[in-house]
Every structure is written in C-alpha cells, then in structure tokens.
Amino acid sequence: MTVVFSRPARLASLAAAALMLAAGGPPPERVTTPRQQALPAAESAPAVAPVSEPAPVPGPLSAPAAAVAAITATDLANLTPANRARALADARPWSGTLFVGSSVADGYLRELIIEPWTGSWGDDTLVGGAVQYRLGRFWRFFTVDLELGSQYRFGQTEGGEFWAVAYLRYDGFPWSNYIYTTLGLSMGPDFVTRLPQVERGTDARPEQNQSAFLNYFSPEITFALPEHPQYEVALRYMHRSGMFGLYNGVWEGANSFAVGFRYRF
C-alpha cells in the first residue's frame, strides 16, 4: 500500500529537516580538564641528555712559571749562602769581563805572586776583555770554563794579544758564606801581534828563542757577594809561558797584572 503525502506536507517535512541540519543537533556535554592534569607526569617523560661540547684534547703538562719560580726560590732558601752562590753562578753559564792592567818588565811569576812589589811595572798598559762559558761542575767545588779574550798593550809594545783557554776553578773556600771566592788556573794558546820587550830582549842581548805563540797561564782569583754572585771582581796574573821550552825553545815570557769586573748572564 503506497501512502501519498500531499504537497503541503512534503514541504513542511523538508523545512523541518533543513532546520535540524542547520542547528547541528543537540549540544554535546563538555567537561573542562585543567592543563596540568592533561599533561603527562614529569617522571614518566623520557630524560633528554644535555648537549655538550666535545672534550678538549689535553696538551703537554707544564707548571706555571710562577710555580716554578716559587719552587726554585724555596729550594735556594734552604741552602747555605755559599751553596746558593754556587747554584746561582752555575745558572748563568755565560759571563763577560772587562779589565785594565800593567805589564811587569822583569821577575819570575812565582816571585811576583808572593812579592808583586818587586817587579818593574808600567812598561805597558793593558786594556781588554774576555767572554767565558761554564761547561759544568764536578766534585762539588770544581768547575771548567772556556774563555776567549783579547787586549791591547799600550807603551813599549803597542800590539794586540789574543787567547783561547780553559779555566779550572775551585770555589770551596770556607769563608765563601761571607765572600764568595773562586781561584782559577788557565791553559791554552796565546798570540801577540808584536812581542813584548821582555820577550824580544835588547838590541845588545836579543832573546835567542822567540815565538808569537805561547801558552796563556794566568792564575785568577775572584770575589763576589754570596747574594749577588753574578757580579765579580777579578784579579789576574797574565803570564805568557814557553812551558819550559815547549814553544820554540822559549823559557821566558811576559808577565802582567790586571783588575777586572765580570758579569754573569
């Protein structure tokens, strides 16, 4: 059986359906939840590892300069004044010396060392300098120094002099806690551009054996304050020696005395 709606009924049904679609149906039930409750718990959240810079590559280990200086100062403070002077002097292997002196016309070296006033002084005035380098220390109180030096003789000789020697030094004197003292002896070749008068002889009696090259044997004694061993006063006998005829049969040589000032660096 087929039900036939009238035209006004169908229009009313369409209008009701359109109204319901426009209204969207009955409103839904809304429940409000706080934001903190909505978020997951902090302990349940996975931990994120912090991002960091790569570790630096370690370099060579070295103590700061101030620390080294403090350790050195502490070590030196525990030494006696003499030992401290030796340590400070050895730490400055280079040194330079300026000196002035006078020649001795006659007299043997052994006599002049004991009685220097017995010689004839003043024939030549010497002005010169030298550079030293400390090779090392052994047996506690002994050192070896190398030296290059030169000087000029004003007066009768009027000539230059040059030497290259090694010095053996001793600094174990008991009074070095008060005056740091060293005693040195040198050995090495010496050359003069003009022979001193005492080596040439006189016109009436010239020396038979002569040599521009002789041995430089020069005892030297130095003095310094233990607190400042880099400043030294040096007293030196300069002796050109034929070494008992080893140099061209020369037995005689020129003697001089010089006073110098030395600085270690």
**pLDDT tens, position by position, 107-121:** 666 676 677 766 677
Residue 174, CA distances (Å) to 27, 193, 225, 240, 257 in order: 116, 42, 14, 31, 26
Quote the CA–CA distance of 212 and 196 in Å, as a whole number: 10
Q: Please name the helix (run of DSSP H) or strand (run of DSSP E) that holds residue 177, with its range, or none.
A: none
Residue the block writes with tokens 């002077």 = 85
**pLDDT tens, position by position, 3-25:** 555 665 565 665 555 555 545 55
Q: Is 102 helix (H, G, I), strand (E, B) or coil?
A: strand
What are the DSSP calls for 6-70, one per residue?
-HHHHHHHHHHHHHHHHHTSSPPP-----HHHHSPPGGGSPPPPPP-PPPPPP------HHHHHH
**pLDDT tens, position by position, 243-259:** 989 999 998 789 999 99
**pLDDT tens, position by position, 57-73:** 555 545 455 544 544 55
Q: Write the CB contacts of 39 (distance below 8 Å, at least 6 apart in sequence).
A: none
Does the reported pTM lie above 0.75? no
